[in-house]
Amino acid sequence: MIGAGLIGLGIAYELARRGADVRVIDAREPGGAASWAGAGMLAPYTESIAGPYEAFCARSLALYPAFVEELRERGGIDARLRLDGILEVAYDRGEVARLRGRVEALAARGIAARYLDREATLRLEPALGGDILGAALCEAEGCVDNRRLGRALRAACAALDVPIDAHAGDVALEADARRVLGVRGPAGFVPATHVVNAAGAWAGALAGVPASSRVPIVPVKGQMLALAMPRAFVHRTLWAPGAYLVPRDDGRLLVGATVEDAGFDVRVTARGVRALLDAALRALPALGDLAVAETWAGLRPGSPDGLPFLGETATSGYFVAAGHYRNGILLTPATAVAIADAVEGKRDASLAAFSPQRVPAGEHAAHDLGAKEAV
């Protein structure tokens, strides 16, 4: 396994619990890249995803409770899953109409969601600003503490005796014209019959990959910050124009996130922080008195058509699990099962849209984001 983000650790865990002999190698700190930087929202519906991708995201959300519980039992760390809904708020009539329409469409499909008028919204979240008109509550969704999930996966992998080589430097694939041979890094050559590239935003730049098996992954920068909030200031994840807010059990309120085409730059900028704070303060004016506890930035692994690359490539034994863009935390459990199945030679026709052997069309999804999604 190349890469010990949530995707690589999740696949390694799933393969190990099925009895496979797995080794994970990471250039840097396991669980320390996008998987650490993310907000942990589990939002297949609020993210306005469609088609087979929404179905895959919903499948992953359904796996989450058992996944988190199993990791807690196996390694002793609780990733703090909360399925108490995501509240998307509206400030103008156009947004009210859009949210009402979405709630009706979700409810017609049996997905737990309802529209709340202004009074009902403020009863749920009294700190919201007074100019709010209403909100959509998608009760099927929630969030997980992704930093804890990374630690939970490491502990569960350790309990299954999966070696995780941390700070190993960049490794490269070794393959001949037809199949994979192993990986080579600063510590030497590791032979392998199967190699999974789970290198996140770096997956497209992995050295040694034959041209026929490369995937066009690009980094999409996201800046975030955390405020220190009083107890019960915000109860659940809020999605407002220009920013989302995610409360953590430890008293931090996460505010995210910018969407930027900035290469591999992970600096926190004045413009980024100002954009997030302007949007957050509009939604919750009382935030103005809270202390800024932390700022950070990470790199989402983006793909040209907005879909991940999942499965075997044209090079036999070489698999890719990357390009999860804004939904890699949500997609960790379903990706783990999908790639473990693929390594075992099982085919899942419902995942054909994500084949690494497809030729993705179109501009990168970040360029197509509407105003609502530029958070």
The residues of the shown chain that bind ligand FAD, judged by CB under 6 A, are 2-8, 25-28, 32-35, 37-41, 170-171, 198-202, 206, 222, 224, 256-257, 298-301, 322, 324-330
Quick one: 210 or 285, whose CB is closer to ligand FAD?
Answer: 210
- Specify whether the CB–CB gap between 341 and 316 falls below 8 A: no
Chain CA centroid to CA 40, Å: 7
Q: What is the C-alpha to C-alpha distance for residues 283 and 245, in angstroms, rounded to an integer? A: 9
Q: What is the C-alpha to C-alpha distance for residues 268 and 362, in angstroms, rounded to an integer? A: 29
Minimum separation from the CB atom of position 33 to ligand FAD (A) = 3
Quick one: 14 or 96, whose CB is closer to ligand FAD?
Answer: 14
Minimum separation from the CB atom of position 171 to ligand FAD (A) = 4
Minimum separation from the CB atom of position 92 to ligand FAD (A) = 25
- DSSP H helical segments within the chain, as ranges? 6-17, 34-37, 51-75, 93-108, 118-124, 146-159, 270-283, 332-343
Quick one: 1 or 106, whose CB is closer to ligand FAD?
Answer: 1
Minimum separation from the CB atom of position 266 to ligand FAD (A) = 9
Minimum separation from the CB atom of position 205 to ligand FAD (A) = 7
- As a whole number of Å, the CA-based R_g of the chain is 20
Quick one: 97 or 187, whose CB is closer to ligand FAD?
Answer: 187
Minimum separation from the CB atom of position 222 to ligand FAD (A) = 3
Quick one: 25 or 136, whose CB is closer to ligand FAD?
Answer: 25
The set of residues, in sequence order, having a beta carbon less than 8 Å from that of 297 and lying 6+ positions away, is 37, 221, 222, 223, 224, 265, 266, 267, 268, 272
| DSSP assignment letter at 5 | S
Quick one: 135 or 366, whose CB is closer to ligand FAD?
Answer: 366
Nearest to 225 by CA among 265, 245, 251, 255: 255
